[in-house]
Structure formats: structure tokens, C-alpha cells
Amino acid sequence: MIVSRRWLEALLGRALDARETADRLTMHVAPVDAVVPLHQDLGDIVVARVLEVKQHPNADRLTLCRVDAGVAGGPVEVVCGARNVQAGKSYPYAPVGAVLPGGARLERKAIRGVESNGMLCSAKELGLGDDHAGILELDTAAPPGSRFVDVVPVADHQIVIDVPANRPDLLGHKGVARELAALLGGAVKLPPIPGAGSAAPAGGDAALGGRRRAPSARGDGPARAAEPGVAAGPSGRVPSGVVDGVEVRLEDPEGAPRYMIAVIRGVKVASSPGWLARRLASIGQRPINNVVDATNYVLFEVNQPLHAFDLAKLRGPAVVVRRAQPNEKIVTLDGVERTLSPEMTAICDAARPTIIAGVMGSAESEVAASTTDLVLECAYFQPTRVRRTRRALGLSSESSYRFERGIDLLGMPESMRRAIELIIAVAGGEQREPWLDLWPQPVQEKTIFLRPERAAHLLGVATERAELERLLTSVGFFVAPKDGGSRLAVQVPGWRPDVTREVDLIEEAARLTGYDAFPDELRPYRPGTVPDAPVEQIKARVRERLAQAGFFEARTIPLGPGDGPEAVAVRNPLSADEALLRRRLIPGLVRRVEHNWANRNRDVRLFEIGVVFRTGQDRPEEWDSVAGVLTGARRPPHWSEGAKVPDMDIWDLKHHFELAVRVAAPSCDVQPARGGGGGWVAVQRGGEVAGWAGPLEADAPVWAAPLFGFEVRLEVMPPHPVPYRPLPTQPPVERDVALLVPAGVSAEAVSAVLARAAGPLLDRLAVFDEYHGPGVPAGHRSVAWHCTFRDPVRTLREREVDELLAGALQALEDELGVRRREG
Amino acid sequence: MRDLLAALTELRERLHEIPQADERRLQDLKTEILGRKAGALTKILAALPGLEPAAKKQVGGAANALKRDFEAAIAARERDLKRAPAAAAAGVDLTMPGRASWTGGLHLVTQVVNEICEIFHELGFTRAVGPHIETERYNFYALNFPKDHPALDAQDSFYLGGDLLLRTHTSPVQIRTLERYPPPVRVVIPGLAYRRDPFDASHSPVFEQIEGLAVDEGISFVDFKATLATFARRFFTADTRVRFRPSFFPFTEPSAEMDVQCQICGGTGCAACKQSGWMEILGSGMVHPAVLENCGVDSERYSGFAWGMGPDRIAMARHRIPDIRLLFDSDVRFLAQFAAGAKGGAR
Ligand SMILES: [Zn+2]
């Protein structure tokens, strides 16, 4: 919401500092995103009176103007290109040396041989509009030499407020001014309308800080705005009435709980007067014509959307508020044909829709230059209905934005009166009959009880009852003590639909006091009942181990292009590339490796711990997964080793996979994967596969090293303490054996037989070499084991060990056909 | 035999060369004397079987003794060379780079999450987590969002069919925690949240969030302010200025936004803070009584506060990262910058 500092000043009857205003609003009301100075760059421009206009001696299209700019040296001569300059009138004048909007400094120069002392300015040159055909004529009696910005009120500030969804009252200048009045002192009063005549009354706006009148207690209407009684017909009948020959029927009171229509005849549609056009321009609204501008002005002043439409275009003439019929069509103001549905409320004439209620009117019924008689609608449309309509049509407007948030149901007559006065003031015409107010089920302000004691309890500081009263009253609540002061009965004004319970009033008191006024010293607290989440502790441990192993943690997003069956689909994805929830982390990490390759990073080791998803029985399943990818050199190169460091291969992969499984899924075993693909799997005790490791396909540049990856499902199990094993005290006896292993026999199988046959004195068993080549028979390989024998309590003899080993070798030969390699 | 003994005596002389040998010379000596095939001492030992028993014993004894001496001297010299190359060999350039192994590290955002959770741990908060796929009830309604709140627009959330969606904040875990544990509850809830914002310099469809919740008897606005201000001063610097200002969230009342003094300009105003001198750090407030009631907690007896913050943005602000996509690119050059710890480096 953009508000104008000057507009606020007019409502408050006092000057405001834009910066301070913004700070107060931010700290007590709603954040101000920006303060934008408007036309502050016209300080060098002065008012000048043209004394004489002559033809330029050397150019037909130029004139020479003798100009009184109020300077001591007397009148000066200025060359001018526009035709509209007349002697005796005042114009904005930029003297030599003046800085113009945009920052250029005006130089003295000769034009067609005649020296020009400064220039007379058009609206465009001053940044005040698009009109550059003529010099801007000033309707002022100010003496020559007066500062332009002091004479023409264009210098302003836009204050851009980020209005939260619960504060519709801040969508109008009056609501913002009300807050400022409470914070800075003062009262809010709608400013008189220029040209409305002395008979125009101030209306019921004087006592904004105090109690609002009940809806039924109406004052006299203004001189030109005749007010009706409320037409609250008995239930079952369609609320209806006739105003100045126009029949109005409220067939959908659910969609439009309160509906008012006025008729104004004999208007003259034209451009708005300067003050009105400037007001709208100051908040970035483009002036359209006097009638539309008047309704927009009221919209931005009191936050009441109004709709004026052309009576001559109404069939009937009738205004019927009803649900739209299926597939009913309307061409809206923007020239687009829209199809309505019965979910929407339409304002129709005797035949067809003329307005989509609360959203936009039709092009046909729009106020045009030919319009003389107006129908003026002031309504409350049901917020949910407007929101659904807006969403269904993909069409929003300043009006729909406000109706969705809820306008002041009780303040509507005041808005209607203001709008009628303003239209008549700027466009002429007359209101011959009171407006019609269809309100089948009138409501009153709601009352909420506030316990000062509860406020003190929740806010943590003692709060005086009188102070609570003062704070609430300052923004328009009506407060009456009850039960000897232990409770306050608080009447909520119609513009605050957000205030529905006691705590909302406590918030009002807190923010008006200022959050910064509350102390912030730590007080004692009781420890909570919730244990620290085990999964977070496990994740932290896994992260630490993989980072220690040389992996960087990556973060990828769980949305991707899909990586197989059972992927959970997003119904409304942003793009096809992010349409499915990931089943695995690996594909995302591979894309990250490709990104690194694209940046010429050859050595890449990444891991991620993240959520993965899969379709499930009733609803999708999700769990945490751990994955890593690795490619490039096995270790950083060092100058002392000269030659290139070897690249990582499947054995580096296996080690890191085992590491990850050990820390992230300790119940799993790593086994070679079945089927020809190579790689390994992590298998749970029940046989279920919970992880995989192997080489990966990727879009790799020629210089890239092979890429490997692993992934395993994170187990959340209570950690158990590691038991201590006594350190050996006896010396080991060591033996190396090279064995000829036939094809089809695995190292694991050989180790198992060795361990079993040698018995418990075989303490450690480790493969240290594999050899193919001379001396190894075809269909075999030579694998060497380092065996460590040890007895925990006595020193082993060499003989003993030799016997144990011989027995084990015999078992190997018998069971697996594995023999010792000789030589 | 005499030849052999003379050869051994000659060889023994060469023991003196070993303590002076550099790495290469030592290798040569090793090969020359102990080499498996052509080593001088190896040859003598190989000749032993051809000698008569007495000579064999004499020569064998001397040769084996010499072998042990050589082995010991070489091993000692090797140790010396490894320990202090400069001491032995002048001219070694000690400015040459050392030998490295690969180092990895935690993602900056993880480190920031850990730091934040750690500070709140000091203030009595434990971590709680919950599912990423949520129902509208947990994500919205139990948190007091009205049925037709604009946040429920499909354009803002990723829907998965029915009333399931990817959580738009980690706040639903507030509800799950209050349903499961009796007050006092003090938890922080780290995790991913999802919103339908396309990637650009300051938005991503997925982001990290830390939600916090404290519920007990007698928790007040002062406790709320104190806890979060204390966090800010511990996370940033002890003299960081903090301010609270009104805001609106359906699940808190009063609602507040907490700003800290801009970490880039120090509060004087810069482009990063839109000249305000302040940085928005978290949205917060006193838990709305309707939220407590939705979880079966007596809102007259208990009160509390809650907040939510974005570690991605906090990391970006503190480390001056201009584009949120850098956090998701996983470029190892980026990751390596923070691998040794996001904090604690020299300025
Ligand atoms: Zn700054």
C-alpha cells in the first residue's frame, strides 16, 4: 500500500516528517518498505510572470518572453518554443544554473542568435506529466520569485507500507492516519472537498478517536447526499427497492450482506481538477476521468471500493445482485470475455451481468464521456466469495484485494456520502433521492472482554487499567470497565475485523506501547519434556565421519525430473524438471558433479544426508538417506612424488561405502551385488537391500576421472556403548601365505575357511597382494594373506603355529581346491 | 676364506658412509651391499654353503654380524632423513608445500543450523523433527490459518493430491510435539520447507527453516523477547542491536518480527539492508491460544512463544553471499571456503 505524506497530513491537520512517520509505522503498526521522495528535485524552480511576448527575430516558431522572476536585476529575456505563453500569466521558470529533474544544470546559451536567460518549463520538463506541448500555466497569485514547490503542492513522499493480511483498515489513508494520530497525537478528520461549497458538512468523521455511533443512529445527511433508512425486509422476501427510477434487488444477500445504490443524474464527465489528479498521481494512480477518479479517491481515502456505472446502459433500468448463471458471459473493463459460474456473485441489469461483484465491471457499462446519469454502488461483498471468484477468473483488482480482506461494514454510509459529495463537487449532477441501503441482517460492533490481569500475565509486566483504556481508545475501540474494573468491555470498530478475542486486544496494547519498551532480560525457565531427536544426533555423526573422510557436504533439492517408478508426483510443479520427489539422492549428486565438471573441478567428493520419498499404501513414505559420489585423484598430488596421483577406483568406493554403512546403517553387511553390474549392496539381517554402491553414468568431459557413488538408508537406532576389548600382552607370530585360488572361489570364502580351520589362535587375517602371471596356473590367481597368530595368555611356539597353518591349508585344499603357491 | 674375511673387513669400512648419505646415496649403498642379487654382502653369504664347516662358522658369523650392523645403520639413517631432512642435507627448500590428504567439510547451512541449535540448546531447547509431507490440518488449520487464507492458494504450496502437501514451514512439528509431549515444551525444529517460488538470486523452492517453540505456565512476552534477543547476541556479536516490531502470523498473537543491526553496514544503511540499517532475522510471537487449544493444551493455564527463521538467509547475510543458488550449486570451490568452519577464521 502506497500512502502519500501530504494526504496523511490533510487527514491529520498537521505536518509530518516522512522518515519519522515511516519509523513509527514500522515500530508500532506495519513495516514500511520504502520512503520515496516525489518531486523534491524542483527546489530551483520559481514562479515567474510573463510581462511581454514577442516574435523571435530569427525563428518563426520561437518567441521572446520578457519575464519577471522576482530577481533584483529586474525582468529577463527568455527564448521560448511553446505557443501557449501569454503576457500577464504565471509559469514555472528555471533560472540559469538551476538543476532540473534528472540532475542536468541549466546553462546560459544563445538560441538562434538570441541569448536566453533560463527557461519556462512544461509539465514534462518538471517530471509532472507527459504534456510537453505547452508551458505549464500556473493558477496562482503568488508573487514572482516564489518557490514553485511552495506554490504547487507536488513535493511529497510516498510511504510504501507492507500491510499484513489482517489489517484491511491500513489499505486506506484514513486508517493509516488513525494510527499516526494515536502515536503522535491529534485527531483524524476527512478534509473538506475543494469546490464542494460551504454547505458541505464535515460528516461524522470528527470523533474518530472516540466511540462510533451505532449503525442505526444516523445524523443528518450532508446537503447533497441524501441518506436512506435501512431496508431490512422480513426474511424470505428478496430485499429490494427503487431509487430514482432504478429497481434494485438483492437476491444474493450471502454474497453481498450489505448493498447500497445511489443515482446521480446530470454529471459532466471530464478531466479531474488538478488537486484530485495530483492526489491520485502522488500514490502512483493514473487519473482517468472525474467520476472514476472520485470513486478511486474514496477507495484510497477510506478503503471502500465503489463502482460507478452508466445508467443509460442499464436494461430495466434495474440492478439485480444474484449468483451468476452457469456459463454466463461478461466482457470486463480490460476487454477480455469472462465466463462466470454460480459460485460467483454478479451485479446484473434486467438482462445480463454488468459487474463481477467486487472484482471488475463490464466494458459496456463503464463511465464514458457520453455518460450523464450514474448508478453508484457501495457494497460489502463476502470475502471468501470474492477470493474464490478472483482465483477462478485469475483476475484481481484494487477492489477485490480489499473485499477479500474485509471492509468496514459499519462505515459504508460514511463512504457513500463522501463519494456522492465528491462526484457532485468534481462532475456536477444531483442526487434526487436518498440512496438505497439493502441490509437484510444488520449487525453491530462486537464486544470483547479484556482482563487487565490477563494482559499483565501474558505481557510479563504490570499493566495499568487506565493505560489499557487509553491505548485501545486511541485507535477507535470503545472501552467500558465492568465488574468493578476487573474486566473491560471493549467494542470493536467495524474496520477491525481481525480483532476477535481477548489476546487480540492484548496485542493492540503491546504494539501501541511499543515492543521495544518491554524488558528483555532472561528469567528462569523449566527444562522441557522433549528429548533431543535421535535422528539429528545420528545425522550429525554421519556428517562428521564423511567430512573427515574427505567429502564435502552438498545440498540438493528434493524435487527433480523423476528417477524411476514409485516416484511421488507434485500436482502443481514449477516445471517438468522439478515435478517429482526424489527416490534417491544419487541422481541429484550426479547433477552436482556435472556442475563441478562444467566448472573444471576434476576432484569431486560430495555427500548428502536428505529425505527421499516413495509412493506408499495410503500415503507416500519418506525416510532419510545418505549418499556420496567420488571422482578424481585419490589424494592431493605432492611435488615429491612427481608423477600423477592415481585416480580413485572401485576400491576407494568400496572403502567409503563400508565406512558409510558402518556409521549410517550399522545393522547392514556389505556384499558384492548379484547380477553382472558390479558394485556392492548393503544388506540388512532380514535380507532386505538398504544400500548400493557402484560406478555411475554421467555426462562427463574427456578429462574427467571415473565416477562412483553409494547410497544407503539411514538407520535410526539407539546407539549402544562400544565394549572394551583387552589389549594383547603376548607377542604375535606372523606368517605370510600365497595361495592359488581357482576361478569362482572368493577371497571371503578362503578367509572363512582359514579362520575356521586355524581356530581362535588366528588373531588377524589380511589380504596383502593379488598376482596374475608367470608361475600361476591358468584359471587361477595368487592371493597372499598375512596371518597373525596370538594366544592371549602365553607365548606361542613357532612349531605350534606351523602345525595350525598346515592344518588350515589342508582344509583349504580339501574344501575349496586352494593350494599354497610354491617359490 | 681369507679373501672373504678381507672383503668383510673392507665392507665394514663402508659403514662410516652411511651416516653421511643422503636419501639417494643411501638407496645406492643399500643395493650395492645388501641387494638381493648383486649385493656385496649378499654374495658373501651366498658363498657360505661351499665352505668347510669351520670356515663357514667363522665367515658366516662375521657376515651376519656385519649385515645386522648395516641394517641397523641404514634404518637409523632413514629415520634421521625422514625426521629432519634440513639438518642432514643443506639446501632443502623448506618453503615447498607439505604433503596433504583430502579434506572435506560440512555445508555452510548445516554449520549455521548447528550453531543456532547449539545456542538454543544452551537456553534449554532440544531438537524435534517431523515429516516433510504434511496434511493441510497440520500445515495450516491446526496452526489457526483460516480455511480461505491466501497462504492456502495452490500457487504457493506444492500439493501431492488430496489434502497432502509438502510442508510450507516446519511449524506443523509444533503441533505434533504438543500433541505428544506435555508442557513444559522447549524445542527447536530444523528442517526443509517448500514453497512454490522459482529459483532466483533470493528465492528457492526449498529452503532450510528452524522453528522454535516454548510452552509452559507463566511464559510471557518478556521471556519471548529475552530468549530471542539472547540468541541474536550470541549468534552475531554481544553488542549487536536487536529490535522487535509488530507483524502478523495466524499462529502467534501478539506477533513480532525480530531485526538485528545490519551485519554488513553495521546499521548505517547499505544496499543489502535497503538503507534501513536492519536485517530481518525471524518472525515470531506468543503462541496463539487457538493453537494451544487445537492441541488440547489449556490456553488459560499455559502460554508460550514460537518463532521461525531461515538459516539460508542468515548464512547469506552473515557471510555476504549474494545469490541463494550458490548454496545449492555444491561447487567444491564454494564448499571448500567454509569447510574448515564457517566461523573462527581470520578477518
Ligand atoms: Zn546495511
Question: What's the 3-state SS for A654-708?
Answer: HHHHHHHHHHHCCCCEEEECCCCCCCEEEECCCCCEEEEEEECCCCCCCCCCCEE
In chain B, which residue's Cα lies nearest the Cα of A603?
B332
Quote the DSSP letter at residue A791: -
Residues of B in contact with A164 (CB under 8 A): 247-248
* B119 is a domain residue: yes
Residues B325, B240 share a domain: yes
Chain A interface includes B248 (CB < 8 A): yes
With vertex at residue A393, the alpha carbon angle to CA A392 and CA A398, rounded to the nearest 5 degrees, is 110
H or E segment to which residue A398 belongs? helix A398-405
Across the interface, which of A29, A518, A636 has its CB nearest the CB of B221?
A518
Query: For residue A558, is pLDDT > 90?
Result: yes
A283 shares its domain with A425: yes
pLDDT at A708 over 80: yes
User: Average pLDDT of A247-272?
Assistant: 95
Query: Which residues, 6 or more positions from A120, have their beta carbon under 8 angstroms from its beta carbon?
Result: A48, A50, A65, A67, A78, A80, A82, A85, A91, A92, A93, A94, A135
Tell me the residue range of the domain where A763 lies. Answer: 733-820
Give yes or no: residues A579 and A616 share one domain. yes
Report pLDDT for A136: 82
- What are phi and psi for residue B206, nearest 5 degrees? -130, 135
- pLDDT score for A204: 29
Distance, CA of A12 to CA of B298 (rounded, Å): 44
Please judge whether A550 and B103 are an interchain contact, meaning their C-beta atoms are less than 8 angstroms apart.
yes
CB contact under 8 A, B129 and A533: yes
Interchain CB contact of B99 with A (< 8 Å): yes
In angstroms, what separates the C-alpha of A401 from chain B's closest C-alpha?
11
Cis peptide before B289 (omega within 30 of 0): no
Distance between CA A574 and CA B194 in Å, rounded?
12
Task: State mean pLDDT over A655-666.
Answer: 96
pLDDT score, position A423:
96
Residues A8 and A106 in one domain: no
If asked whether residues B288 and B335 sit together in one domain, one would say yes
Q: How far is B131 from chain A (nearest CA, A)?
A: 8
Q: Determine how β-strand B126-127 pairs with β-strand A780-789.
A: unpaired
Residue A347: is its pLDDT beyond 50?
Answer: yes
CATH of the domain at A51: 2.40.50.140
Q: Based on the domain organization, do B266 and B293 belong to the same domain? A: yes
pLDDT in tens, A180-193: 999 998 899 999 99
**Structural domain for B210, as ranges:** 108-339
**Percentage of chain A exceeding pLDDT 70:** 94
Closest chain B CA to residue A539: B110
* Same-domain check for residues A431 and A454: no
**Residue A718 falls within a domain, yes or no?**
no
B267 and B238 inside one domain: yes
Do A547 and A585 belong to one domain? yes
Q: Is residue A204 part of a domain?
A: no
Name the residue facing B124 among A528, A574, A620 (closest C-beta): A528
Give the span between the Cα atoms of A753 and A760, in whole angstroms: 13
Count each helix (H run) and each strand (E run) in chain B, helices first: 13, 10
B185 contacts on A by Cβ (under 8 Å): 528-530
Q: Judge whether B179 is closer than 8 Å to chain A, CB to CB.
A: no
Question: Which 218-247 residues of chain B touch chain A by CB within 8 A?
Answer: 218-223, 225-227, 229-230, 242-247
pLDDT tens column, A495-549:
999 999 999 999 999 999 999 999 999 999 999 999 999 999 999 999 999 999 9
**pLDDT grade, residue B7 (50/70/90)?**
confident
Of B165, B162, B91, residue with least CA distance to B132: B165
| β-bridge mates for residue B252, sequence order | B249, B287
- Of the pLDDT bands very low, low, confident and very high (cuts 50, 70, 90), residue A199 is very low
Q: Which of A384, A530, A619 sits opposite B128 (nearest CB)?
A: A530
In this complex, is the C-beta atom of B52 within 8 Å of any C-beta atom belonging to chain A?
A: no
Residue B103 lies in a domain: no
Q: What is the chain A residue with the closest CA to B333?
A: A601
CA of B342 to the centre of ligand 1 (A): 21
User: Which residues are CB-neighbours of A42 under 8 A, at least 6 positions away?
Assistant: A92, A101, A126, A127, A148, A149, A154, A155
Show which of residues 297-316 on chain B sit within 8 Å of chain A, judged by CB atoms.
303
Q: Which of B188, B304, B169, B216 is nearest to A503 (CA)?
A: B304
Residues A29 and A119 in one domain: no
Closest Cα in chain B, distance from residue A658 (Å): 18
Chain A: give the shortest CA distance to residue B5, in Å.
32
Sign of CA dihedral B276, B277, B281, B285: negative
B319 shares its domain with B236: yes
Is B96 part of any domain? Answer: no
Q: How many CB pairs under 8 A join A and B?
A: 265
Binary contact (B158, A570; C-beta < 8 A)? yes
CA–CA gap between residue A434 and residue B177 (Å, rounded): 59
Q: In terms of domains, do B114 and B206 share one?
A: yes
Q: Would you say residue A8 lies in a domain? A: yes
Name the strand (E) or helix (H) holding A721.
none
pLDDT tens sequence across A461-470 = 998 899 999 9
Length of chain B, in residues: 347
| Facing residue for A506 by CB, picked from B194, B198, B254 | B254
pLDDT at residue B39, as a whole number: 84
Final residue in a domain of this structure, among A490, A517, A544: A517
Last residue of a domain, one of B60, B89, B118: B89
Q: Is A462 helix (H, G, I), strand (E, B) or coil?
A: coil
Same domain, B27 and B78: yes
Residue B149 lies in a domain: yes
Same domain (yes/no): B37, B126: no
Torsion of CA B46, B48, B49, B51, to 10 degrees: 140
Q: What is the per-residue pLDDT across B222-234, written as a single tens digit (0 to 9) for each?
A: 999 999 999 999 9
Upstream peptide bond of B184 is cis (omega within 30 degrees of 0)? yes
Q: Is residue A527 part of a domain?
A: no
On whether residue B95 sits in a domain, the answer given is no
* Mutation site, B121, B135, B160, interface A, largest A CB count within 10 A: B160
Rounded CA-CA distance A594/A603 in Å is 12
B225:A519 CB<8 A: yes
pLDDT of res. A198: 41
- Exposure string (b/e) for A381-410, b if CB count within 10 Å is 16 or more? bbbebbbbbbbebebbbebbbbbbbbbbbb
Query: Are A397 and A456 within one domain?
Result: no
pLDDT tens-place string over residues A616-634: 988 999 999 999 999 999 9
How does residue A215 score in pLDDT terms, banded at 50, 70 and 90?
Answer: very low
Helices B53-83, B23-34: crossing angle, 10 deg rounding: 170
| Alpha carbon of A67: minimum distance to chain B alpha carbons (Å) | 43
CATH number at residue B308: 3.30.930.10
Q: How confident is the model at residue A219 (pLDDT cuts 50, 70, 90)?
A: very low
Crossing angle for the helix pair A452-459 and A465-474, to the nearest 10 degrees? 90
A500 CB-near residues (< 8 Å, 6+ apart): A446, A448, A492
What string of H, E and C letters represents the secondary structure of B136-153?
HHHHCHHHCCCCCCHHHC
pLDDT of residue B141: 93
Q: How far is the CA of B108 from the centre of ligand 1 (A)?
A: 22
pLDDT at A212 exceeding the cut of 80? no
Instruction: Tell me: do A147 and A169 sit in the same domain.
Output: no
Radius of gyration of chain B (CA): 36
CB atoms closer than 10 angstroms to residue B137: 13
pLDDT tens column, B134-158: 999 999 999 998 887 666 666 789 9
Is a pLDDT exceeding 70 seen at residue B213?
yes
Residue matched to cell numbers 500436482? A571
Interface contact A550-B132, CB threshold 8 A: no
The pLDDT tens digits of the residues spanning B31-90 come to: 888 888 788 888 888 888 888 888 888 888 888 888 888 888 888 888 887 776 555 456
Residues B31, B148: one domain?
A: no
Q: Indicate the average pLDDT of chain A.
A: 90
Residue A220 binned pLDDT confidence (cut-offs 50, 70, 90):
very low
For residue range A168-178, what is the model confidence (pLDDT) as tens digits?
999 999 999 99
Whether residues A371 and A265 share a domain: the answer is yes
Which of A235-239, A645-649, B63-67, B133-137 is predicted with the least confidence, judged by mean pLDDT?
Answer: A235-239
Question: Which CATH number characterizes residue A320's domain?
Answer: 3.50.40.10
Based on its alpha-carbon atoms, the radius of gyration of chain A, rounded to whole angstroms, reads 42
Name, in order, each residue with C-beta under 8 angstroms of A694's C-beta and a sequence gap of 6 or more: A650, A653, A673, A677, A678, A679, A680, A708, A709, A710
- Confirm whether B122 is domain-assigned: yes
**In terms of domains, do B213 and B326 share one?**
yes
Burial of A721 (0-12, 13-18, 19+ CB in 10 A): exposed
Q: Which residues lie closer than 8 Å to B47 by C-beta, 6 or more apart?
A: B4
Closest to A668 measured CA to CA, from A654, A683, A653: A683
* DSSP letter (8 states) at residue B47: H
How far is Cα B313 from Cα B322, in angstroms, rounded to an integer? 10
pLDDT of residue B127: 98
Q: Do B45 and B121 lie in a common domain? A: no
The tally of domains found in chain B comes to 2
Q: Complex ipTM, two decimals?
A: 0.85
Among chain B residues, CA nearest to A641: B99
Per residue in B152-198, pLDDT (tens digit) is: 666 789 999 889 999 999 999 999 999 999 999 999 999 999 999 99
Residues of B in contact with A24 (CB under 8 A): none
Interchain CB contact of B102 with A (< 8 Å): yes
Residue A132 falls inside a structural domain: yes
Rounded CA-CA distance A28/B115 in Å is 32
What percent of chain A stands above pLDDT 90?
Answer: 70
Q: Is residue A668 part of a domain?
A: yes
Per-residue confidence at A21, pLDDT binned at 50, 70, 90? very high
* B215, pLDDT greater than 90: yes
| Residue B8 CA to ligand 1 centre (angstroms) | 83
- Answer yes or no: is A724 within a domain: no
What is the tally of helices (H) and strands (E) in chain A?
A: 17, 39
**Tens digits of residue pLDDT in A751-790:** 999 999 999 999 999 999 999 888 899 999 999 999 999 9
Relative to beta strand A258-264, strand A329-331 is: unpaired
Alpha helices in A144-240 (DSSP H): 148-151, 173-184
What 3-state DSSP class applies to A454? helix
**pLDDT of res. B273:** 85
Q: Is the pLDDT of residue A598 over 70?
A: yes
Give the pLDDT of residue A150.
82
Higher pLDDT, B316 or A72: B316
Which of these three, B22, B57, B89, is where a domain ends?
Answer: B89
Q: Find, in chain A, the residue whose alpha carbon is nearest to that of B196.
A: A574
The one-character DSSP state at B105 is: B
Domain boundary among B33, B60, B89: B89
Distances (CA, A) of A793 to A723, A800, A803: 20, 15, 19
Check whether residue A172 and residue A306 sit in a common domain: no
Mean pLDDT of A201-230: 39
Average pLDDT along chain B: 89
Same domain, A261 and A403: yes
Residue B258 lies in a domain: yes
**B221 contacts in A (CB within 8 Å)?**
458-461, 510, 518
Q: Are residues B138 and B178 in the same domain?
A: yes
Which site among B253, B325, B326, B334 would you substitute to test the A interface, given the most A Cβ atoms closer than 10 Å to its Cβ? Answer: B253
Per-residue pLDDT at A230 exceeds 80: no
The domain tally of chain A equals 6
Is residue A796 a part of any domain in this protein? yes
Contacts of A165 in chain B (CB under 8 A): 149-150, 248
Q: Is residue B101 part of a domain?
A: no
DSSP A244-285: TTEEEEES-TTT-SEEEEEEEBS----PPPHHHHHHHHHTTP
Coil vs helix vs strand at A553: strand
Buried b (16+ CB within 10 A) or exposed e, A272-286: beeebbbbbbbbebe
* Dihedral (CA of B45, B50, B55, B57) sign: positive
- If asked whether residues A801 and A745 sit together in one domain, one would say yes
pLDDT of residue A780: 93
A544 and A575 in contact (C-beta within 8 Å)? no
Nearest Cα neighbor of B220 from A733, A160, A458 is: A458
CA of B261 to the centre of ligand 1 (A): 8
At B84 the pLDDT is: 63
Does position A322 have pLDDT exceeding 60, yes or no?
Answer: yes
CATH number of the domain that residue A11 is part of = 3.30.56.10
